[in-house]
Structure 1
Amino acid sequence: MQKLSLNQTLQQKLSPQQIQFIKLLQIPTAELETRVEEELEINPALEEGMDEELQNKDEYGDDNDDDYDDEYNQRDDISLDDYLNQDEYAGYKMHSDGSFGEEEREMPIATLHTLHDALMQQFGFLRLNDRQNIIGMQLLGSIENDGYIRRSLQAIVHDLAFSQGFYCGIDEVEQVLKKIQTFDPPGIGARNLQECLLLQLDRKDPNDPNVTYAIKVIEDFFEEFSKKHYEKIQKRLGINDHQMKCVISLITKLNPKPGSVEGEDGLAQYLLPDFWVNNNNGKLEVHLNAKNAPELRISRSFAEMLDTYDKSDKSNRHIRETVTFVKQKLDAAKWFIDAIKQRQNTLQRTMDAIVNYQYEFFLEGDEARLKPMILKDIATLIEMDVSTVSRVANSKAVQTEFGVYPLKYFFSEGISTDYGEDASSREVKSILKELIENEAKGNPLSDDKLEKLLNERGYNIARRTVAKYREQLNIPVARLRKQL
């Protein structure tokens, strides 16, 4: 026998307008212009330019009796329940956001030049037969973002057989790989670091004796080189100290990740600042990038259209459908303008709070002046949720007199000191980097010694934390920092 029960649950749902605001907030300035252009294309109720009423106020003062926004809001309150289907109307609200419904729109992004594009362009200049073309395409698809092919040639042979029914041998694949390894950037298509370095050395002047010695070091003494046993290598090669230094210098200037020349993830990227911070005689001024404040307005003719149709025969199906379309587009345009304004306000408040919190750094540009700061600190100051601050910090950058910094650069945890204060982890990293840069190159400082030196300066830090910060700075252990 079935039993009926009544359960009460509490659910929190975001409105379509909130979702639209979140999406606009997290995209960087470089993509905002594209997003605005897309909205202008799909919504005829949205126009570029300053609102006419606001423009009149700027020119003639506040003498206008009618406020356009109030006028539109009054139109928004017109009762259309007798000929509007509420379910369809709600469905459009969800769909107009661009993230719901069956025909989901994708957010457009700027087209960037990738490593794969560059390799494909070079591949097109090779004179290959049909078999070699198939193998070459498979090899290009196996190249990772750092430029390496880590799948074995046997695995690539199997891939071709199972996915395309194409059968070939390892020797045939290796012949095509050798051609790809002649592409730029040098070292591309290598299967390991040793091969990557050799491919780059092969491009050097073969008549240079240092190049000859460098090739021999990588070919015959790679393990000793990776462990920095330079004295043993020098003895085996029979060369003097000066020659050995030249050989090591030549090798260490090679690129261990050839794919990184196109960008960290294979993309040619650039950083467009969302804010500018200027020092005006000791007073810091924060400005929002003008691209974050596009001038948008609701089409007056489109709004007047709603009035016209509202006075028409409401029982007519075509009139009803037209009114539905017009009101939906007007609502979508108003939501979008409001979301853009809310984005501007949130960005400005967040950046103002960050500058006030890190005021000394923005004055002098000294990392040691950075205070410990977490997302919650800024969220508390601007009275917003931590997730909102996180979306701003993770995708925005600021132009200062000392360079361009991503906002997340200013967030760091604190470390206690002997003076009863908290020091920023970035400040400690800066001192750690300074200690390592000034160490004796022939006898580098171990993590234990670095810990003691930092403790002597008043920073209460453990050896494992020193090791973690050193790794975050991409600094190798003492043994690998040793130089001749």
Structure 2
Amino acid sequence: MLKQNLQLKLSQKLSPQQIQLMKLIQLPTQAFEQRLKEEMVENPALEESSKDDEYEYEKDEFDNSDDYDDYDDHDGDHIEADEINIDEYLSNDETPDYKLQANNYSDDDEDRSMPFAASVSFHQSLIDQLNTFILSDSERDIAEFLVGSIDDMGYIRRSIPDIVDDMAFTQGIYTDEKTVEHILHIIHQLEPAGVGARDLQECLLLQLKSKTPTSSVELSIDILENQFDAFTKKHYDKLLQKYDITQEQLRKAIDEIEHLNPKPGGAYESSARAVEHVVPDFAIKITDGELELTLNGRNAPELHVSKDYQEMLQSYKDSRDKSVQQKDAVQFIKQKLDSAKWFIDAIRQRQETLFVTMNAIMHYQQEYFLDGDEAKLKPMILKDIADMVGLDISTVSRVANSKYVETPYGTKLIKDFFSEAMKNDQGEDVSTIEIKKILKTVIEDEDKRKPLPDDKLADILKDKGYPIARRTIAKYREQLDIPVARMRKKI
């Protein structure tokens, strides 16, 4: 039996344009530029004005932000060509706004591209080194397979039997474990020292054995070969008793080990990798004791509608006989022009949102930005800024995420200015950033022969006026990437 029911339902739905705006807001400068290029490729009605220098948008640029049109969801609407008001898409202004912009900046402000040097890959360098060894064809095939099995950190994470089986099944190379072990010893002679090791212990031993033999080096090799577990757990008293040596002798041996590279391939990769440059989204300057905020000009491109598309609409308006093909073309042009206007409007709203949010952060942390003392960073959460600018917390989060601000004290990640509040012994709210800085200083000044455990660190911070629990100390220590007391011990 069929029944009909009437049901009312209230729901919220974001229009495609609102979703587009949210995505644009969260993009940092370089990703935003890439998104801009993609949109201009997809929409031929959108063009960027040519300009030699960056144009910095300041606060006055957003005074007329209320004039922005609200986004509406027109995706479901179909407008016939005859219903389109052509005059709305045509401009009588012979001089577009973008030609009236002044860019009074020197050549030093130009955006120059950074050349990158071509480099040989890590694995290719190992293959090239094999040419210095006299190998048969079969041995070279095995050697190249072993080099291909080395990961980016310089290790072979597989057992010899597995490698033998893999070569047989995938490469048709039939050999035995003894031969592979022999070729692996050749791989161990390649640079950087330690490459091709199967674990950390073997990696460190390969590096030590490549050094000039000294009493400290020989002792280091003995420790790694026979007392590796005691060394990793820093049981130095056990090592002193085992080898019947002085603390100075043990310290020199440990220094030899600590100066080794546990990731030989990683060092090569980091040197060959292209240097990444951080592009700040904002700049804060101090002028006559006042803070001045500017938005990076690369976040404020001057876009306009294509003149060719306007001329096509004008031709359609002037023509007497309007064919079906012309009406379809006008419908297509109208869609592209609407999309271009929506995108331009989204960029303007992005500029305003970025600026007002960062402006609120700057004034909230004014004491810090004036002198750069991290102790003056006030506790600040996303809701504090959202309430100041009248935006949603998620919007503020999108602005703060992956964006940088250039200050007189260096380029900073915006989200690092946010921190929770804790009360000191006087009942005042202090930032967790300040507490972490004090904790780091206390650990740096401790006696490394007897590092302070977390409960002792908690007592010290309590004496300094910060009553913090031991588990909180442990959490902050982990966030600062500081190991436990036992692992900080030195002899």
* Shorter-chain TM band: 0.7 to 0.9
**Which whole-Å CA distance do the structure 2 matches of 1:340 and 1:330 have between them?**
15
SS at match of 2:203: helix
- Quote how far apart the aligned CAs of 1:431 are: 0.6
Q: Deviations over 1:237-264 (max 9, x none)?
A: 4554434323322322334445654469
Residue deviations 1:359-396, cap 9 Å, x none?
Answer: 22222222222222111211221111111111222211
Distance in 2 separating the partners of 1:349 and 1:464: 38
Relative distance call for 1:170 and 1:192 in structure 2 (3 A) is same
Match of 2:253 among 234, 241, 247: 247
Partner of 1:95: none
Check 1:447–1:80 CA distance in 2 against 1; reply closer, same or farther (3 A cut).
closer
For the residues of structure 1 that align with 2:472 and 2:326, how far apart are their CA atoms? 70
Change in Cα spacing, 1:408 to 1:243, as seen in structure 2 (3 Å) is same
The 1-side partners of 2:187 and 2:418 are apart by: 43
**Distance in 2 (alpha carbons) for counterparts of 1:367 and 1:448:** 25
AA in 1 matched with 2:12? Q
CA distance, structure 2, for counterparts of residue 444 and residue 394 of structure 1: 36
Structure 1's unaligned 5+ residue stretches are 56-68, 71-75, 87-109
- The CA deviation at 1:469 is 0.9
Show the counterpart of 1:105: none
Task: Specify the alignment match of 2:286 in structure 1.
Answer: 279
Q: Deviations over 1:22-44 (max 9, x none)?
A: 22222221222233233333332
Cα gap change, 1:32/1:80 in structure 2, threshold over 3 Å: closer, same or farther? closer
Of 471, 475, 480, 2:482 maps to: 475
- Change beyond 3 A, Cα 1:403–1:328: same
Deviation at 1:465, TM superposition (A): 0.6
Which structure 2 residue ranges, 5 or more long, are not aligned?
56-66, 69-73, 85-112, 132-136
Q: Which residue of 1 aligns with 2:142?
A: 132
The amino acid across from 1:139 in the alignment is S
Q: Which moved more, 1:278-287 or 1:448-457?
A: 278-287
Shift of 1:160: 6.7
In 1: Cα distance, 2:331 partner to 2:178 partner: 67
**1:338 Cα deviation from its structure 2 partner:** 1.8
Alpha-carbon deviation of 1:21? Answer: 1.9
Matches within 5 A, 1:359-438: 359-438=366-445
In structure 2, give the amino acid aligned to 1:440.
Answer: D
Quote the offset at 1:49 in angstroms: 1.5
The 1-side partners of 2:190 and 2:30 are apart by 31
- Name the amino acid aligned to 2:481: N
Check whether the contact 1:313–1:319 (CA below 8 A) recurs between aligned residues: no
Distance 1:148 1:353, change over 3 A: farther
Q: How does 1:56-95 map to 2 (within 5 A)?
A: 81-83=79-81
Tell me, in whole angstroms, the C-alpha distance in 1 between the residues paired with 2:161 and 2:221.
Answer: 27
Kept in 1: contact 2:126–2:191 (CA 8 A) = no
- Structure with bigger RCO (C-alpha 8 Å, 6+ apart): 2
Task: Give the Å deviation of 1:169.
Answer: 5.8
Deviation per CA, 1:340-369: give whole Å up to 9, x if none.
Answer: 222221111121111111222222222222
- Find 2:234's aligned residue among 211, 228, 231: 228
Taking structure 1 as reference, are residues 345 and 165 closer, same or farther at Cα in structure 2, changes over 3 Å only? farther
Residue 333 (str. 1) matches residue 333 (str. 2): no
- Contact map agreement 2:405 2:412 (CA 8 A) in 1: yes
1:112·1:267 contact (CA, 8 Å) conserved in 2? no
Native 8 Å contact 1:379 1:389 kept in 2: yes
Matched, 1:443 2:450: yes
Task: Flag the 1:260–1:135 CA change in 2: closer, same or farther, 3 A.
Answer: closer
> What is the match of residue 41 of structure 2?
41
Distance in 1, Cα, partners of 2:197 & 2:369:
44
Relative distance call for 1:194 and 1:48 in structure 2 (3 A) is: same
Distance in 2 of aligned mates of 1:13 and 1:133: 60
Alignment partner of 1:345 is 2:343: no
Change (3 A) 1:47 1:461: same
Structure 2 Cα separation of the partners of residues 407 and 336 of structure 1: 26
Count the aligned residue pairs.
431
Distance 2:398 2:161 in 1: 44
Question: Structure 1 467/446 Cα, relative in aligned 2: closer, same or farther at 3 Å?
Answer: same
Aligned residue type for 2:312: M
Pair 1:456 & 2:463 matched: yes
3-state SS of the aligned residue for 1:404? Answer: strand
**Superposition pairs for residues 168-187 of structure 1, below 5 Å?**
187=194
Contact 1:446 1:478 in 2 (8 A): yes
Equivalence map 1:168-207=2 (5 Å): 187=194, 190-202=197-209, 205-207=211-213
Q: CA deviation at 1:233?
A: 2.5
**Aligned: 1:216 with 2:219:** no
Residues 458, 151 of structure 1: alpha-carbon distance in 2 compared, 3 angstrom cutoff: farther
How many Å separate the matches in 2 of 1:393 and 1:436? 30
Q: TM-score, normalised by structure 1?
A: 0.76
Contact 1:122 1:183 in 2 (8 A): no
Partner Cα distance (2:143, 2:43) in 1? 46
Query: Quick one: distance in 2 between partners of 1:331 and 1:185?
Result: 59
